Amino acid sequence: MNARNSIPALAVLAALTLTGCTQTGGTTTSLDEPAASAPAAEPAAEAAAAPDITPLGGTFTYDDGVAITVSAPTPYTPSEYAAGATHPNNVTITFTVANNSAETLELLSMPEVTSGGVAGESITDLTNESVTLEPFGGNADVLPGQTFSWTMAYSLADASDVTVSISPTAFEHDTAIFSTAAG
């Protein structure tokens, strides 16, 4: 992402801080283990705790039942007409949100990807219909019991060092962090 794409995220964070909205926490599971309920934490310990980091390919489940899975990056060859392929590694990442809550989920998700200590650049490739255009790849109403998936292309500095920050909604859910460093 570049600075231009970070401005809306900062505005959302500022609005969230100013309005005092609460967010929903959650738990992390890998593809190999079932979801478990989060242990109760003492208030002081919870404030000092680092955020949970989910391995890429794993699933983060929020307390309300909404779950998000972020795939591991897969190699991608942009067309000659693609824009944003500025780093040595071009990949696709698939995002899947499962709405296991009782309410319709107003999905508005803007993933942020970093790699090798620098922001990943989103790739716009109009010749490839399987790659979603930026910035709102995850933008849909997802009914209870349904899932929604989308794939985005990114240009990365280091495909072995990738971190994805994502929230399924603008205000109701915390940001989940997925990384190759987790696990």
163: left (phi over 0), alpha (psi -120 to 50) or beta: beta
- Is the pLDDT at 152 greater than 80? The verdict is yes
State the pLDDT at residue 174: 94
Q: Which amino acid is at 110?
A: M
pLDDT digits (tens, 9 = 90+) for 39-68: 554 554 444 445 689 999 999 999 999 999
State the pLDDT at residue 148: 94
Which residues contact residue 2 at a Cβ distance below 8 angstroms, ignoring those fewer than 6 apart?
119, 121
Cross-strand partners of 95: 70, 150
pLDDT digits (tens, 9 = 90+) for 59-109: 999 999 999 999 999 999 999 999 999 999 999 999 999 999 999 999 998
State the pLDDT at residue 24: 47
Strands 176-179 and 53-55: parallel
Please tell me whether residue 80 adopts helix, strand or coil conformation: coil
